[in-house]
Amino acid sequence: MKKILAIDDEMSIRLILETILKGKYDVTTKNDGEEGYTWMVTKRILPDLIICDIQMPNLTGYGFLERIRNSGFFSDIPVIMLSGEEQSKERVKCYQLKAQDYLTKPFNPVELIEMIEKNLNPKIKLRGFDLTYGDKLYYYRLGALDFMTQSIDFEEAEKKIKQSFEKINDL
């Protein structure tokens, strides 16, 4: 079960998040950025995703986001920021600090779950596209294809790709 850390100073938001996400995810809630960061460091826990409010005492969402992005160890964890502010400058600041998404409160639970799923499963779903064998090999090696059912003979594929490039170079 994927681990989600939800950080918000409002008890009601923490309870809503727990209620929405329980059963599907392992959810831990914390009161502010400092408590969330301390929990991650002392327990040596690497959540799969973090949901974080912006306006909090002790360590704001901005401070928390900046701290984890500069940590090295936690820098790749996807973060969804929550805020009561709908201003564009708030969103831009979050994106500049490398947040993956931004959701305003009150939020639609379905929208939050879609954001979570998008960030936990960032696979490229290429439906209806005619890909060359080389493209398929490239995307498969990146781990981006979830529809490939047949096994790939990598040596044969690389040979075909090299032959294609040789033909292009001969033109």
Query: Mind listing the pLDDT tens digit for each residue in 111-122?
Result: 999 999 988 886
CATH class of this structure's domain 3-120: alpha beta
Question: What is the secondary structure of 90-105 as a DSSP string?
Answer: HHHHHHHTT-SEEEES
* Sheet hosting strand 3-7, strand order edge to edge: 26-30, 3-7, 49-53, 79-83, 101-104
pLDDT digits (tens, 9 = 90+) for 88-139: 888 899 988 899 999 999 889 999 999 999 888 865 444 445 555 555 555 5
Between residues 101 and 160, which one has the greater pLDDT? 101
Write down the domain spans for the chain: 3-120, 133-170
What pLDDT is attached to residue 147?
Answer: 46
Work out the angle between the directed axes of helices 61-71 and 88-96 (0-180°, nearest 10). Answer: 20
